[in-house]
């Protein structure tokens, strides 16, 4: 994966970064390592600090390569996270993550909610 910082954070503007990755044919669906084709992904990352709160938004799009065995579709992914510094070295984190289902026959798109306490 290769990433670039595009815009630095200001009072109004968040940090804006972009990343690009290529997953090669060496991964395959039987081992849950990819499609068996070349996959290309681009991600836009935004983060903004509001006092003790850090808000993060990631938006991604994956162009799925041709798999010799299973038919996948391109996917859109999203992530929204908040980090709140309670006291020095203690942070509460929460995240919502989801994506369009790569399985063309799936009825629903997967998503998750996560939460935790990070202690440094």
Average pLDDT over residues 53-82: 88
Average pLDDT over residues 99-108: 86
In which band, very low, low, confident or very high, does the pLDDT at 103 lie, cut at 50, 70 and 90? confident
| Residue 10, pLDDT score | 93
Beta carbons within 10 angstroms of residue 68's beta carbon: 11
Assess whether pLDDT exceeds 90 at residue 45.
Answer: yes
Average pLDDT over residues 42-70: 89
Indicate the burial class of 31 (C-beta count within 10 angstroms; 0-12, 13-18, 19 or more): exposed
In which band, very low, low, confident or very high, does the pLDDT at 75 lie, cut at 50, 70 and 90? very high
- In sequence order, which residues have a C-beta less than 8 Å from that of residue 85 and are 6 or more positions away? 52, 53, 91
Average pLDDT over residues 77-100: 94
Among left, alpha and beta (phi > 0; psi -120 to 50; other), residue 32 is: left
Assess whether pLDDT exceeds 80 at residue 43.
Answer: yes
Average pLDDT over residues 91-102: 94
């Amino acid at each position: 994966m290769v990433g670039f910082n595009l815009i630095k954070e200001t009072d109004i503007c968040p940090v804006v970064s972009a990343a690009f990755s290529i997953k090669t044919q060496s991964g395959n669906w039987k081992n849950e390592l990819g499609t068996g084709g070349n996959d290309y992904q681009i991600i836009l990352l935004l983060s903004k600090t509001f006092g003790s709160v850090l808000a993060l938004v990631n938006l991604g799009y994956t162009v799925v390569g041709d798999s010799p065995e299973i038919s996948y579709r391109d996917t859109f992914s999203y992530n929204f996270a908040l980090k709140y510094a309670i006291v020095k070295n203690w942070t509460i984190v929460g995240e919502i993550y989801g994506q369009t289902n790569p399985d063309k026959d799936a009825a629903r798109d997967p998503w998750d909610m996560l939460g935790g306490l990070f202690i440094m």
